[in-house]
Amino acid sequence: MAELHDLTALEQGDAVRRGEVSAAELVEHHLARADRVGAFITRTPELAIDRARALSTLSRPDDNASPLHGVPTAIKDLNLTAGVRTTFGSAAYVDFVPEVSDAVTLAIEAAGLVSLGKTNTPEFGSPCYTEPDVAPPAVTPWDTSRMAGGSSGGAAAAVAAGLVPVAQGSDGGGSIRIPASCCGIVGLKPSRGRISGAPTYGDPVGLATPGPLARTVRDIAAFLDVLAGRGVGDPSWAPPPHSSFLAACDRDPGRLRVARFIAPVIADSPVDPSCVQAWEDASRLLESMGHEVEDVPVPLPPEAVPVFEICWAVLTALSAAPPGREGDLRPLTRWLSERGRAVTGPEFGLAIGEMRRLAAIALAALAPYDLVLTPTLAVPPLPVGALRNDDDPEADFEAQKVFTPWTSAWNVTGMPAISLPLHWTDDDLPVGVMLAARPAEEELLLAVSARIEEAAPWIHRKPPVW
């Protein structure tokens, strides 16, 4: 017999709506599951139970309610949550409790989901591994000696281990798709402007966006419906969907033109045979579904890499420690911040302009194609500590580029991109494959991803800690 955590997020929401289970029962069940994967920095059981009981005393959700009403979730520890410790993955903020919640947290609460706490993230979300000084490392449930990826590693580990059915992450260079690949789940980076960054707007460059992680494409779509929407003061926004993102999963995407490339974008790195195999298998699967797959050159030139690095370093420098707590920052953060502070204002402005020019060139080159196919990562999940190098932060940064040489391209262009768990190695490690679409075309991306999931399902796969 299936247990509650075996149900998808939509199935759990449907059970609440039909009165088969209460939000309180769902929350208590998920809270009872042990966190053996370093998923949380802060758990909030009392708050979660109180909120779930309050929801359970209300009448059943009506037809206008989110299909995820009453479903347990979690909020990344980069997102402000009023009254709840929010560390940003940094020892410099270990005791910080914000007085306000950001737009993402408020949207989750307004939809009737129940957060069980704050998920693990590296310091300020910068590295592509989740090994902060304020919590144990986040690990993949498929092999707990290996990393969950980052920076939404805690969110991905929580979903993959069945601690919550859906979780929110954020992605400035791959931080949703990297852990999705490492943990064998689905992760979507939405288009630039799809989800509001209010009230802090901490990324003036436009690389980062919140987004959903889940085990199925339909759960991803339902949670995107919760998160999506513009705020009054947002600097950019994507046009609203034609109906709902969940409804898009039932549409026929038609016959598509799919561009593909496998040459690394930001590093001259070898690609593991399992990642090549996953990419080739996905190509054949798309062709078997009637789509046209074509090889294309890498759309971003090598000169995009130093431009991206200037912007990334400045963004890290903007994540300042409170006065007197600078010594609590990790070596990588200090090194990147020093690089960022060495950039003058005009140099930063020119870098943003150059990045947008390069993005426009890439978008024009890819415009004839409906989708773009690459691997998500260059290798399967690595052992914990394999990338982190506190003695040599520059080597740490270069190792991260070799590990994830494709994902940041779509942060530069602002395109939506999704990692799908389509492959497992012989020793049962997950390997993701990434699809990107034109800006604001999440509906098409979700429609074809749902068809891929039907053709090559993965929901039956459960990690050892399940």
Annotated catalytic residue, options 90, 175, 181, 319? 175
Long-range pairs for 10-16 at CB < 8 Å and ≥24 separation? 10/67, 10/68, 10/216, 10/218, 10/219, 10/222, 12/70, 12/71, 12/72, 12/165, 13/66, 13/67, 13/68, 13/69, 13/70, 13/71, 13/222, 14/67, 16/60, 16/61, 16/69, 16/70, 16/71
Q: Which one-letter amino acid corresponds to residue 237? A: W
Query: Could you confirm whether 449 is annotated as catalytic?
Result: no
DSSP 10-75: HHHHHHHHTTSS-HHHHHHHHHTS---S--EEEE-HHHHHHHHHHHHHSPPP-TTS-TTTT-EEEE
Cβ contact 240:224 at 8 Å? no
Query: Could you confirm whether 175 is annotated as catalytic?
Result: yes
**Which tokens is 201 given?**
């707007």
Specify the DSSP class assigned to residue 210. Answer: E
Closest-CA residue to 36 (of 149, 114, 167, 142):
142
Annotated catalytic residue, options 90, 126, 151, 274? 151
Query: Could you confirm whether 170 is annotated as catalytic?
Result: no
Listed in sequence order, the residues at least 6 apart from 94 whose beta carbon sits closer than 8 Å to its beta carbon are 87, 134, 328
* Preceding omega of 151 cis (within 30 degrees of 0): yes
CA distance 445 to 105: 25
Specify the DSSP class assigned to residue 333. Answer: H
Cβ contact 111:55 at 8 Å? no
Closest-CA residue to 353 (of 410, 312, 307, 318):
307
Ramachandran sector of residue 149 (left: φ over 0; alpha: ψ -120 to 50; beta: rest)? left
Annotated catalytic residue, options 76, 118, 189, 401? 76
Cβ neighbours of 426 (radius 10 Å): 6
Q: Can you tell me whether residue 449 is helix, strand or coil?
A: helix
Phi, then psi, of 23 in degrees rounded to 5: -60, -35
Cβ neighbours of 368 (radius 10 Å): 10
Relative to beta strand 371-375, strand 430-437 is antiparallel
Query: Catalytic residue numbers?
Result: 76, 151, 175
